[in-house]
Amino acid sequence: MQHNPLPARRKAYIGTMRMLMWISVAIAGALVLFLVGYVLVKGIPNITWELLSTKPSYLDGTIGILPNILNTVYIILATLVVVLPLGVGAAIYLTEYAGNQKIVGMIEYAAETLSGIPSIIYGLVGMLFFCQFMNMQTSLLAGSLTLVIMNLPTIMRTTQESLKTVPQSYREGAFGLGAGKWRVIRTVVLPGCVDGIVTGCILAIGRILGESAALLFTAGFAHALNGLFDGLTSAGATLTVALYVYAKEQGEFDVAFAIAAILMVLTVLVNLCAALVGKYFKRKNSV
Amino acid sequence: MAIKSKKKLVENIIHGVFLVLGLVTVGCVLLITVYLIVSGIPAIREIGLIDFLFGKEWASTAAEPKYGILPFILTSIYGTAGAIVIGVPIGFFTAVYLAKQAPTKFKAVMESAISLLAGIPSVVYGFVGMMVLVPGIRKVFNVPDGASLLAAIIVLAVMILPSIIKVSMTALEAVPKEYEDASLALGATPVETYFRVSVPAAKSGIATAVVLGVGRAIGEAMAVMMVSGNAANMPSLFQSVRFLTTAVSSEMAYSSGLQQQALFSIALVLFLFIMLINATLNFFLKGQKEGT
């Protein structure tokens, strides 16, 4: 068979497109490498045990980020404790109970709207509603409740996805044995959607870890060292807010780099967890 | 009989509880909307809608305060447009390559790299921008201060990349293989097939990706706050500028009275922009559903 060479115009088109693809991929890849590399190289040398284990002291002029680490943990815990029942419950309602398509549409539309709202607006409404109207003041609790609204759609969606993978025959089997709806949900449906809940949790943790704009006016920027319950009722900066304050307002770049490196490592870990959990459940479901 | 009706009662109560849990989401949206409108309207009333939206000067702490937010609106629009102009082509071509041409291993590596990019906190972006980009712009373009609209545009372009790549990739991967096979069988080369068959077939998905990018760019606050300088100028590439988002966050800590109310009004304007973008998004998503 004779093989005609391509006309020059087509060749040029193909060449250009190929080049553009390679350049774009190279840019995207280089960006990730640069960002991760730069932050880690600049930040890791500044991470010392003293930084991690103390609180800032004006007397000694030292800076420690232990309070910020604890605040981040508190906020993650408090947010998850509230958002899990809400999100999972909403997902169960949508897949197991809802008969009225109008209500389903309304809830799904609301969830979509929530996931599109920028965090600064959450921060503002959180400040107005939780801090002022509910009289919580600027506190970790107000911050967590704001983040609950933010993360509600995430938990709802991941749970809903995995509820859909629970085979209908399981439910029918349980109903056939005479179980009531609530019993079926407790014993058959919920265990089947653990993977969605876990994935949702990991995604939510990642999002809470990285959130700053919504926390600035709701959780504030204090650096006091507190236990969990005192911590929730008082103001406190998470790692991200602390990074902002140290970098932008106090010019403590070494500390800021250290926090950025910690956040980067945590982000990598969260991503790894998400990938591993995804793989684990996929394997489990396919068996 | 009594047991049965009791059981039914319990079931009904539980049904009710789940209904309430489901409606929490709707309640949250209503709460946010109502709060923004109620707290945003008074300042607009006092200042006047036209003066507020189209006033060119913002001087909230002056003896004779001026509350014109046109500079913020334009900065947000220009900044977002700039980020789209830089970010979308890079994201688009990367998505086509990864979805269609990349070797499996390379694709997997790049995909996790892009997820990582999506997970990096915005303050880290802002901080790196502040340490690298801002001094870089000052040196390269020889301007007095690198904290400018350009720096914000570049940071935003990087930040919207992951959503653009991911959503476009999903759309491109959903293109039926028969389309591509037909094109290949007719003598088109693979690259021609990707761009002339797969891309048009995935166009509503790619449009969705762009709209998502717009939403993310216009709503970003912290990263932009750290690199854009925060002066209430009319937008210009090398000048310090303030976005709608940063206008809210930069004065909130110390504002009161009409000044604070004006900040709520800015948030309301931002919210309206977002709702507009969401409506566009829904339009494209609907098109996508009908297309497949």
pLDDT per residue, tens digit, chain B (292 aa), is: 566 788 888 888 998 999 999 999 999 999 999 999 999 999 999 888 888 898 888 887 787 888 899 999 999 999 999 999 999 999 999 999 999 999 999 999 999 999 999 999 999 999 999 999 999 999 999 888 889 999 999 999 999 999 999 999 999 999 999 999 999 999 899 999 999 999 999 998 999 999 999 999 999 999 999 999 888 888 888 989 999 999 988 888 777 788 888 999 999 999 999 999 988 888 887 766 655 4
Whole-number Å distance between alpha carbons of A86 and A72: 21
- Cα angle: A235, vertex A239, A240; to 5 degrees: 100
Q: Which of residues 217-256 of B touch A (CB under 8 A)?
A: 218-222, 225-226, 245, 248-249, 252-253
Which of B192, B267, B281 minimises the CB distance to A124? B267
At B150, give phi and psi (nearest 5°): -60, -45
Which of B130, B221, B281 minimises the CB distance to A118? B221
| Nearest-CA distance A12 → chain B (Å) | 11
Quick check: B283 contacting A, CB < 8 Å? no
| Nearest-CA distance B115 → chain A (Å) | 7
Whole-number Å distance between alpha carbons of B28 and B40: 18
Among A10, A17, A32, A160, most B C-beta atoms within 10 A, so best to mutate, is: A32
Enumerate the residues of chain B whose CB falls inside 8 A of the CB of residue A103: 19, 22-23
Per-residue b or e along B102-138, where b marks 16 or more CB atoms closer than 10 Å to that residue's CB: beeeebeebbbbbbbbbbbbbbbbbbbbbbbbbeebb
Tokens of A40: 């880690």
Per-residue b or e along A103-136, where b marks 16 or more CB atoms closer than 10 Å to that residue's CB: bbebbbebbbbbbbbbbbbbbbbbbbbbbeeeeb
Q: Which of residues 64-123 of A touch B (CB under 8 A)?
A: 85-86, 89-90, 92-94, 96-98, 103, 106-107, 110-114, 116-123
pLDDT of A284 strictly over 80:
no
SS (H, E, C) B216-242: HHHHCCHHHHHHCECCCCCCCCCCCEC
Quick check: B63 contacting A, CB < 8 Å? no
- Looking at domain B69-291, its CATH class is mainly alpha
- For residues A184 and A171, is the Cβ–Cβ distance under 8 A? yes
Tokens of B256: 């009161």
The enclosing H or E element of B58 equals strand B58-59
Q: Are residues A89 and B17, on separate chains, in Cβ contact within 8 Å? A: yes
Q: Are residues A152 and B121, on separate chains, in Cβ contact within 8 Å? A: no
Looking at residue B1, what is its pLDDT? 52
pLDDT band at A3 (very low <50, low <70, confident <90, very high): low
Three-state secondary structure call for residue B189: coil
Three-state secondary structure call for residue A90: helix
